[in-house]
Structure 1
């Protein structure tokens, strides 16, 4: 169980801060079921409710700084998705993003960077679907890393590149 004040990655919804736990007073909802009251990291005026005991919801505590630094060093070893069929590739993106797993989010990002370069070399742009999943994966992972590394989100890609480059050299 998470504590008030904890930051979590909440499925494909991104970073949230646990504000409280409560029960909901709504028709059709059990009065005994507890819910986390969460504040979206990118929308501090909003509230999201998630069942405390839901096994199907992927939610995890955000990385520590040490875990983030260790994760970044593993980025070169994270493989890309090698799926040629558009529908299967989209399903794989969805599954990776829903997992909340930093490795899977980075797998989507790396795959789409490679795909973007391939399309540019063919005189094409990244498709809207690919752009959507790129933004979603980057949004979740880069928000988390920006928070734990205490830096602006826009600086995260360069920070990752710098660490990866140092570890390769």
Structure 2
């Protein structure tokens, strides 16, 4: 169980702060079921509720500072995905974003960056789907690293560029 004030990565929805727990008084929802009350870091003007006992929910604590520094140090060894077809790339990116694992998110970012360079050489722009994958992966990973390292998202982007190349 997570404590109030803890930052968590909540599925593909990004980083959230646990504000506490509550029981929801809504029709059709068991009155004895406890829910986390969370606030999205990116959009702090609302509340998100997630079951405390949810086994299917992908929720984990954000990295510690030490874990984040270790991750950045290893970022250069994390490679882009090797995909033979656009469909395979799409499925691989979806799967990795859904996992919310930092190394998997960085793989997506590197894959789309390589694809951007490849398409630029052909005089083409990045596809909307690739841009969507990049934004999702960056939002989750960069928010987590910003909180773990107590720095801005812009500083995280610079660190990723420096370490990942």
TMscore range, shorter length: over 0.9
Pair 57,91 (structure 1): closer, same or farther in 2 beyond 3 Å: same
Question: Which consecutive residues of structure 1, in runs of 5 or more, have no partner in the other structure?
Answer: none
Question: Which consecutive segments of 4 or more residues in structure 1 shift more than 6 A?
Answer: none
Taking structure 2 as the reference length, the TM-score comes to 0.94
2:10 maps to 1:39: no
Residue 164 of structure 1 deviates from its aligned partner by 5.0
Equivalent residues of 1:109, 1:138 under 8 A apart: yes
Map of 1:97 onto structure 2: 97
Q: Hey, what's the Cα distance between the residues in 2 that align with 1:79 and 1:160?
A: 13
CA RMSD of aligned residues (A): 1.3
**Alignment pair present for 1:66 and 2:66:** yes
Q: How many residues align?
A: 165
Which has the higher mean CA deviation after the structures are superposed, 103-112 or 142-151? 142-151
CA offset digits 1:30-67 (Å, max 9, x no partner): 11111110000011111101111111111110011111
| CA deviation after TM superposition for structure 1 residue 84, in Å | 2.9
Q: How does 1:13-162 map to 2 (within 5 A)?
A: 13-162=13-162
In the alignment, the residues of structure 2 paired with residue 163 and residue 100 of structure 1 have an alpha-carbon distance, to the nearest angstrom, of 20
Aligned residues of 1:60 and 1:100 also touching (Cα < 8 A): no
Shift of 1:86: 2.2
After TM superposition, the structure 1 stretch with the greater mean CA deviation from structure 2, 86-95 or 108-117, is 86-95
> What TM-score do you get using the length of structure 1 for normalisation?
0.92
What secondary structure, in the 3-state scheme, does the structure 2 residue paired with 1:142 have? helix
